[in-house]
Amino acid sequence: MYELHTPVNHKAVAKYIGYYLIAFTFVLVVPTIAALVLGNVDAAIDYGSTAVAVFIIGSLIYRALPDYDLETKEALIIVALVFPISAFLSAVPMSLTTGMPFIDAYFESVSAVTTTGLSVAPADVGPVFLFARSWGQWVGGIGIILVVLSVLIRPGTTASRMYKANYGDMKIKPTVISTTRTLGKVYIIITLISLILLLMSGMSLFDSICHALSCVSTGGFSTRPEGIRAYQGSLIPTAISISCLLGAVSFVLYPHLFKKPEKIFKNLELRYFLAFIAIGSIVFAFTLERGNTDYDLIQDSLFQIINAITTAGFSTIDLSILSEASKAVLIFMMWIGGNVGSTAGGIKVLKVILLLKVVHNVLLRLFLPRETITPIKIEDHVIESDEIYNLVTFMLLYTLILIVSSFIFMLYGTNMSSSVFEVSSALSTVGLSAGATSASMPVVLKLVLIIDMLFGRIEIIPLILLFMPGTWIKRKWANKRNVKT
């Protein structure tokens, strides 16, 4: 508990931000190369010069400070800093290249690194911008922390705490470093599978690359202003749906695909996930008020529910004309989200299962003697009280942020259903919009969505810790308390 009463080591945080800046240089190099391939020399200069500047700053910080072993609190702070800093660094060349106002470029960059997909960009931004957004989503999906862990940081306590702050207790291999490298391999493989599926469905090479990067990261940025509605037929929406599902399933399950496939289909979270998709598609189909054929209705319903619950955010229909009931179904699906250990956002299916177990346990105990012990279990794992407290805290904060953000939208004249829809989309990092998100929206609302997207990707607690004075400044009352104890 002593660790909680002391501020973070500023130099340790700065040291590993230096590591991160060096790693992020390579993230900026890819759009630089893409700009050269696409024949846009000016954009290549903008991205290339930004990459050089970031590398120099990162190297100076790294060399100026000694090595430190990170505490858990410092790892959490670094994870909280990585995403807004990544968005800022990406927004600089993006604004220079397109001429967009910096706030709009930062909005796009936050939407990219948080894998949300909400957009305020104009329609004629050019191919370099479109690729850079999708690339940003792909990097944000697996997390820049994975790059840092896999390449720059040595095995040990620091690597373990950095990993746990970003990915929790999810492990595939015995060590953190081997686990992150396996996760990276899985991510690359499913991206290639997505690319092949999109090419086979008839999509162009450029569009296939951009959509594959956005699909497996469950990001949702498209190369067309109309989104997936711009493509004819059912092959492309089907390929998009499969790709999004690949990104929303826990990466822990993939290594078992060839060795123990039965373990995948016995996974409780995956079974609930598929059940939510089936039920949601049926309910959503009943709420649609359109004269479609049965096949079109089923296809649109299934596509939209998959893109809501996987938090990918692609769409084949105009969401602004949906009924209130249809919007409510999509909102509910966005809240649920994908699997723990995937690129999907939302509350996550495993937390929903745990919440249902807690409710069941409370109701069950009403009929049992008070001294009866009724442990809560998910498969073979007994849930500790700390996990329940964390869940209740998360749900309370999630609901509070949702209510406050929606109220701010309503103050600016947006109706209640659209307000809740847009905020839910940002907070669950989905990217679906009922029409309220646009370049013309007030700056205050853009800032609200930016904050919500960061909350959704970083999962609230680390971002709150970032703004707590005690995180950075030594408190006198804590010192007195430590002396007494």
Two tokens, residue 198: 């999109």
Tell me the pLDDT band of 76, cut-offs 50, 70 and 90. Answer: confident
Q: Check pLDDT > 50 for residue 335.
A: yes
Q: Which two tokens stand for residue 396?
A: 């309370």
Q: Could you give the C-alpha distances from 13 to 68, 79, 147, 222, 453, in angstroms and in order?
A: 9, 10, 17, 36, 23
At 107, which helix (H) or strand (E)? Answer: helix 102-113
Find the range with the poorest average confidence among 150-164, 182-196, 271-285. 150-164
Q: Which residue has the higher pLDDT, 3 or 366?
A: 366
Tell me the β-bridge partners of 378.
381
85-144 pLDDT, tens digit per residue, is 999 999 999 999 999 999 999 999 999 999 999 999 988 888 999 999 999 999 988 765
| Gap between the Cα atoms of 239 and 252, Å rounded | 23
- The whole model's pTM is what? 0.89
Q: How confident is the model at residue 260 (pLDDT cuts 50, 70, 90)?
A: confident
The residues, ordered by sequence, that sit 6+ positions from 148 with a Cβ below 8 Å of its Cβ are 16, 19, 20, 23, 162
Which of 189, 187, 98, 97 shows the shortest CA–CA distance to 144? Answer: 187
pLDDT one-digit tens code per residue, 189-240: 999 999 999 999 999 999 999 999 999 999 989 999 888 888 888 899 999 9
b/e per residue 11-50 (b: at least 16 CB within 10 A): ebbebbbbbbbbbbbebbebbbebbbebebeebbbbbbeb
Range scoring the smallest mean pLDDT among 151-155, 253-257, 378-382, 414-418: 151-155
377 strand-pairing partners: 382
- Residues 14-41: what's their mean pLDDT? 91
Q: How far apart are CA 214 and CA 117, in angstroms?
A: 9
Q: Where do the DSSP E strands lie in 414-477? A: none
Q: Measured between alpha carbons, how far is 116 from 333 in angstroms, rounded to an integer?
A: 15
pLDDT at 250 over 90: no
When pLDDT is cut at 50, 70 and 90, the band that residue 481 belongs to is: very low
pLDDT value of residue 155? 45
Contacts with 209 (C-beta within 8 Å, 6 or more apart), sequence order: 131, 134, 195
Report the mean per-residue pLDDT for the chain.
84
What mean pLDDT do residues 430-434 have?
A: 91
Please give the Cα distance from 482 to 485 (Å, whole number): 5
Ordered alpha helix ranges (H), 235-323: 235-248, 261-265, 268-287, 294-309
| pLDDT score, position 475 | 63
Residues 6+ apart with CB under 8 A from 222: 210, 211, 214, 228, 230, 314
- Classify 317 in phi/psi space as left (phi over 0), alpha (psi -120 to 50) or beta: beta
| Digit-coded pLDDT (tens) for 360-404 | 888 887 887 877 777 787 777 777 887 788 888 889 999 999 999
Over residues 287-333, the pLDDT tens digits come to 886 544 455 677 888 899 999 999 998 988 888 888 899 999 999 99
440: amino acid identity, one letter: S
Tell me, what's the pLDDT at 321? 85
Distance set, CA 312 to CA 74, 173, 246, 308, 338 (Å): 31, 28, 11, 7, 10
